[in-house]
């Protein structure tokens, strides 16, 4: 009786069946990888701004405190953006005719705020309060990274749910004294584990409910 299929047909059939079984798992893995990629999270991506504001220059070189521009960071959910008058406090005297600052001068003349492109953006169903984190020992650089080294601002953290929960499950790794909250060069000391536990008590942080859904989804 003549052979209907060549010897290689059996191998091809096995490969196809294996591929069909593996396809759903490969698709899930690929989807997970895409969702955690910088393309989706926006991490490390630098957005174009109306004015190329340099944190490297203003914070790293001039030593301007975060609160000078983000004045509501200690008292409100939003850190706030500097008004044009804040910018012109210096630039009415310094670099007054520099072309890159034309949008600032135009904003002052027309009484219209500068429309900055938001770098850190959370979904509408996520609630985040800057003042709560500041009051409980979480410093700016924990979330925003070493902004004093950034010529142009970029998103330092992925802002995924996993990233937030990682801190909420064990905040002791990130807590620091109040006098170091705005120190952008702060690094955890060797005994951070012990200091963190002490600060946990000092700030009256209840870790039992830090991962409750209602903490972030209200």
The closest of 69, 93, 94 to 80, measured between CA atoms, is 69
Q: Does the pTM exceed 0.85?
A: no
Distances (CA, A) of 17 to 13, 23, 25, 218: 6, 10, 14, 47
pLDDT in tens, 113-163: 999 999 999 999 999 999 999 999 999 999 999 999 999 999 999 999 999
Tokens coding 125: 């169903």
Cα distance between residue 111 and residue 89, in whole Å = 15
Q: What is the pLDDT of residues 66-87, one digit of tens each?
A: 999 999 999 999 999 999 999 9
């Amino acid at each position: 009786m003549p052979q209907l299929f060549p010897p290689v047909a059996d191998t091809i059939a096995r490969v196809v069946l294996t591929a069909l079984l593996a396809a759903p798992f490969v698709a899930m893995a690929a989807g997970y990888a895409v969702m955690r990629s910088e393309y989706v999270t926006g991490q490390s991506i630098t957005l174009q701004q109306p004015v190329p504001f340099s944190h490297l220059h203003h914070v790293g070189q001039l030593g301007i405190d975060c609160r000078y521009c983000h004045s509501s960071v200690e008292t409100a959910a939003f850190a706030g953006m500097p008004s044009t008058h804040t910018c012109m406090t210096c630039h009415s005297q310094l670099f007054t005719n520099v072309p890159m600052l034309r949008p600032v001068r135009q904003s002052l003349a027309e009484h219209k705020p500068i429309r900055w492109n938001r770098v850190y953006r959370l979904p509408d169903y996520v609630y985040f309060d800057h003042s709560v984190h500041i009051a409980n020992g979480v410093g700016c650089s924990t979330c925003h990274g070493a902004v004093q080294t950034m010529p142009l601002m970029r998103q330092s953290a992925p802002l995924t749910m996993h990233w937030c929960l990682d801190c909420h499950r064990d905040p002791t790794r990130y807590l620091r004294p109040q006098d170091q909250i705005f120190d952008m060069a702060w690094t955890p000391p060797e005994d951070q584990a012990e200091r963190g536990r002490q600060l946990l008590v000092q700030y009256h942080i209840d870790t039992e409910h830090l991962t409750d859904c209602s903490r972030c989804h209200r």
